[in-house]
Chain A
């Protein structure tokens, strides 16, 4: 009986635990991960389809330098080294798009899968992939990449099976070329998704349409745009905020309108990781944001163009990026941050060109209220007076034992998938799922030798829309918001409201011409920058590109620093990337201090803020109070946006949620209206509060809150003690695979190193490039090249990233050029 029990637990999963025999055995089980922790000094492999030998040399930072005789062999080799270092990540991100995580991790992941299927990302990717000609650049490179991934999987030693597969008792699936398209769908979801339209009706019911427009404006009141507007500095276009005028006495919309993914909600009624709150935090100007800038030779100390970029994303281990250097003699020589699943880096540099991106944040998704033939289970929708059939897609979710755990029917109009919300059927048109080829333009950039060539290659880049900053060795610089920006119908010109779907005239009418994109090429000011702000001054072009743009605090700081530095160096670029100053407090602290003057109870708090240099350095104590102040101020001011308590009593008392929160710059503008109705606290019925009442109360509440949390003013208040980065594992966030509480020496809301309250977002990659001869480059990301958690390369870059350092990036021109001390491993791939 005992033997039976041992054999059973050895060979069968118990609950979520894998079979113990295969896990624990020390020849090829989990213990063997120790043997796979470092790359062998010399190794060889075979990839069917290679046309010649490929040499891969790993430098001391674990970066593979791939030397191939043609680009397709290089793509095969990149697939191989991606799989060798990050096989589990490849699979997980693919399954996240396909909606098949439950097949790997069990039924608990089914809600995620149902949301993914409802979004239709994989369906759209499959259709786009089918439409690519077999001879297309994208398809040929993706096929070659897949050959590399699969060659590694086929030859992978049992000892090298990633830890996560072992825990789940699973083996990796084979990689299909179309999964490359899945990757870009995933990036589209991360960077190009928006659904503020779905909250808009609720906001209008609460405060009226005019106020809603002003709270979440299409034209941001602070203008320091990406496309230079000829103004040296920010321009404030303050307009009085219209008073709140609720449209109806009773708000009918349920509390579910906030904080829940509509796609998950439509099917499951449960919260989803990509909830509206999460996106709200992501989009919040103060919490996160990417930066890039380019400097022309006449403003650099060396006389060469400079480029710097730091895209901010959710932090994870393994990291989202994987560094690689690809050399194909006389054809391609590119070093970059690659994404797992694609053979070409979206960010990088060659001998002649460097490029990097920030997210544009344009509104590229619109929502249409459809008229359907059956409100419970529709099969047709009304368009121009005729009934059209809905496309029905039946999705079966399976668990890790192959059992069906959910069957959903997804309905689609010609615009895209529908969701069912508050009794309405709403379809979505979205550039990301329209089908796009990101490989060809990115490959074109990697092959380009000038900013002009690269911009031409990017003409066909559709989604997710990105602000590409570029600089070349001839001294040219450029920056362009690039992507498919829809031209809306004259009947439905704004994309931030729900649109009547019953008329085809409300559909998109085309796309912006490339020459109309926000852009700058060798601007007279000698630099260009982007930080997710509104790309184009509405005084230059009033067409709708988006709404609710992040406040330009970071853009203002970048441009101030660049204007002040006429002899920029790579090191000054690096220091800018970790600059601790925030422009945001300057717009609030003076008003708060003035309101608190004469109030002895607030003297200490006001003095602390008043003496603050607006820097988020580790030793500063005022930032913790300022952050608490801003949270209190938003809560007290925007109480008009609170949703009514749930009739079902689902929310605890006092925990009502705001349907949305205006950007902090809107609040800054409201400071100029001390008597505005918005300052009135609705919970005090007989008292009419004004600006200074609220400022004082917010400061007092913030002071008490921080005292309660951290004790009396002291070392515990220091920025360095209160804010950390949390770099969590993709699958097991609360396990030893994560690296929580990583110290951040500087940075905070509104600064160039913003960090969200939970510490889960930050600079995912920092890069500085000097376009001289030779090109010199530096970079770092928070993680390491290996996905093996016991490898020294799992997190070896994290410490230097945390310290704000950049590594010098090696770019050997040929195999054998790295010295013995620089080269840690070698891999030869043959047909």
Chain B
């Protein structure tokens, strides 16, 4: 992974993290936009997925620095009758999957939207 790619991933993750404060669905919305904008790049959806995992993982780490996040995982895991680690996995997988799928959709849209076609012709 190149330095540029790392930087791009981090920037996208920061955008996802900021969007999460508005609502969780900002992640797929932003990922779709990212997928659209990076339609000609290979690996755009992967970057989106990694960035989403990084964003939500970072936010979990922030919660853990401020308070007992491990107890939150244990609590929710107990209620859902899964291991606490599964709560982490579920959270990050949800974010990653939402971002990857939305980015794929964004990339696909690039090929069908009129504006995109013009852009491609240019």
Contacts and interface: CB of A to CB of B under 8 A. Distances in A.
A26 B59 contact: yes
A34 interface: yes
A559 B57 CA distance: 62
Given A20-B94, A36-B67, A27 B59 contact: yes
Nearest to A163: B75
A790 B25 contact: no
B56 A26 contact: yes
B75 to A, nearest CB: 5
B78 A2 contact: no
Nearest to B103: A3
Interface stretch (B1-9, B16-24, B111-119): B16-24
Nearest to B87: A24
Contacts of A22: 23-24
Contacts of B13: none
B50 interface: no
B90 A31 contact: no
B52 to A, nearest CB: 11
Contacts of A34: 63-64, 66-69, 71-72
Contacts of A790: 67-68, 71-72, 75
B60 A31 contact: yes
B94 A27 contact: no
A30 B76 contact: yes
Contacts of B25: 7, 10-11, 21
Q: Which of A6, A20, A26, A36 lies at the interface centre, i.e. has the most chain B CB atoms within 10 A of its CB? A: A26
Given A21-B94, A25-B56, A26-B56, A737 B63 contact: no
B104 interface: yes
A37 B67 contact: yes
B28 interface: yes
A170 interface: no
A506 interface: no
Interface in A1-60: 2-3, 6-7, 10-11, 20-22, 24-38
Contact of B21 (A10, A27, A732): A27
B85 interface: no
Interface residues of B, number: 35
B22 to A, nearest CB: 9
Query: Which of A7, A24, A732 counts the most B-chain CB atoms under 10 A from its CB?
Result: A24
Interface in B90-105: 90-91, 94-95, 97-98, 101-102, 104-105
Interface string A698-740: 0000000000000000000000000000000000100111000
Contact of B97 (A2, A38, A792): A2
A26 B21 CA distance: 9
A602 interface: no
B74 interface: yes
B98 A7 contact: yes
Contacts of A818: none
B26 to A, nearest CB: 9
Nearest to A790: B71
A369 interface: no
Nearest to A4: B101
A383 interface: no
B121 interface: no
A737 B77 CA distance: 11
A789 interface: yes
Contacts of B21: 27-28
A38 B66 CA distance: 9
A176 to B, nearest CB: 30
A520 interface: no
Contacts of A634: none
B72 A27 contact: no
B90 A24 contact: yes
Nearest to A159: B63
Contacts of B23: 21-22, 25
B98 A31 contact: no
Given A163-B75, A789-B75, A32 B20 contact: no
A3 B67 contact: no
Given A35-B66, A736-B79, A26 B28 contact: no
B75 A35 contact: no
Interface residues of A, number: 33
Contacts of A167: 79
Nearest to A22: B24
B17 A735 contact: no
B63 to A, nearest CB: 4
A24 B24 contact: yes
B63 A26 contact: yes
A25 B17 CA distance: 10
Contacts of B101: 2-3, 6
Q: Which of A27, A28, A732 has the most CB of B within 10 A?
A: A27
Contact of B104 (A3, A38, A737): A3
B76 to A, nearest CB: 6
A27 B71 contact: no
Contacts of B66: 34-35
Contacts of A27: 17, 20-21, 59
Contact of B67 (A30, A35, A736, A737): A35
Nearest to A36: B67
A7 B71 contact: no
Contacts of A10: 24-25, 94, 98
B3 to A, nearest CB: 27
B90 A737 contact: no
A432 B66 CA distance: 47
B93 to A, nearest CB: 10
A791 to B, nearest CB: 8
A165 to B, nearest CB: 13
B68 A37 contact: yes
Contacts of A163: 75
Interface string A574-609: 000000000000000000000000000000000000
A782 to B, nearest CB: 20
Interface in A495-543: none
B20 A35 contact: no
Contacts of B79: 167, 732, 735-737
A736 B59 contact: no
A789 B97 CA distance: 30
A32 B63 contact: yes
Given A3-B102, A790-B68, A736 B74 contact: yes
Contacts of B68: 34, 37, 790, 792
Contacts of B71: 34, 37, 789-790
Contacts of B76: 30
Given A26-B60, A37-B68, A6 B28 contact: yes
Given A11-B25, A21-B25, A735-B79, A3 B98 contact: yes
Interface in A731-766: 732, 735-737
Nearest to B77: A736
Nearest to B98: A6
Interface in B15-62: 17, 20-21, 23-25, 27-28, 56, 59-60, 62
Nearest to A33: B72
Nearest to A6: B98
B105 to A, nearest CB: 6
Nearest to A38: B67
Interface hub of A10, A34, A36, A790 (most chain B Cβ within 10 A): A34
Contact of B28 (A3, A32, A37): A3
A34 to B, nearest CB: 3
5 contacts: A3-B28, A10-B25, A20-B90, A33-B72, A35-B63
Interface of B: 17, 20-21, 23-25, 27-28, 56, 59-60, 62-64, 66-69, 71-72, 74-76, 78-79, 90-91, 94-95, 97-98, 101-102, 104-105
Given A3-B98, A36-B67, 13 more contacts: A3-B28, A3-B102, A6-B101, A10-B94, A21-B94, A25-B95, A26-B56, A26-B59, A31-B60, A37-B67, A37-B71, A789-B75, A790-B75
Closest 9 CB pairs of A and B: A34-B67, A736-B78, A3-B101, A26-B59, A25-B24, A21-B24, A790-B71, A34-B69, A27-B20
